[in-house]
Every structure is written in C-alpha cells, then in structure tokens.
Homo-oligomer: A and B are copies of this chain.
C-alpha cells in the first residue's frame, strides 16, 4: 500500500503492575493496563461527569520490556506510543473474540515515565547504581540513574545527533 501510518499516543496511569511473561524463545510479553480519562460538566444537569477508558498495551520490545518491568508500577504515569492491532482469539466456550491492543514492538513504540512514583517504585527502591539506562532518547531522571524515557533503540548508545 502506498504509505500508511498506525499510531497511538497515550498519557495515562497504570491500573495495576505490569504483567511480564516470556515466550519460549525468550521474547518478552509485557501487558499494561493504562487508564485515560476525561471529565466535563454536563450542560443540562450541571453535573460533573467523568469517563475512564482502559487500554490494553502489549510490549514485545526487549528494552522497553525491561524498563516496564523495572520502573513501572500500579499508578505510574506514562507517555507511550504504539500501534493498534486487533487479534482474534477463542474463549473457553469456543466463542470467537476480538481484542484490540496498543502494541510496542521491535520496530515501533516509545515509553516515557512521567513520574517514578508508582507503588514500590521511585521511593525506597534505587534506580541507577551503576545502571546505565538512558540511551536512545533516554531522559534519565532523579539523583540516580533512573530513566524516565526510552525508546526501542539500543540503550547506552552514541550521541543522538
């Protein structure tokens, strides 16, 4: 096809800790549940309303998976870029189901930590300590070496430009 673009940009919070698994080949699969919400005042009633949308995010990228595993926790606020993918699956009753996910894979995807303050993370836990994240677009944060942003690129890399 003449060129196409499939891009999702989310800024939201994790509803729970990342779920990290590995394929038998060793490839990572990290599932994130990300909430975005909007609120508005209803014109008729004058009430404030709020609607939260939950996004299934799947990370297949090795570097981003490591980052998610190490630095993301329930409550973490993140910026992420991925692409939409809908997959078909069959539930236990033989029903065909579809699930649409935001995928960050080897080729596409970006993850930026907007705080390091999910449960368990950021607080007592030490980022850095010889750690060396921060490559690529890495925006490292904090007194330590805790990364605040990553992309799929190699970590510990050369000058960006």
Contacts and interface: CB of A to CB of B under 8 A. Distances in A.
Oligomer: number of copies: 4
Nearest to A137: B38
A64 interface: no
Chain B CB within 10 Å, residue with most, of A12, A37, A50, A139? A139
Interface of A: 1-13, 35-44, 48-55, 60, 77, 79, 83-86, 95, 97-100, 102-103, 105-108, 110, 112-116, 132-143, 145, 148-149, 151, 153, 155-161
11 contacts: A1-B133, A1-B141, A2-B139, A4-B10, A4-B12, A4-B135, A8-B84, A42-B158, A51-B160, A77-B114, A97-B97
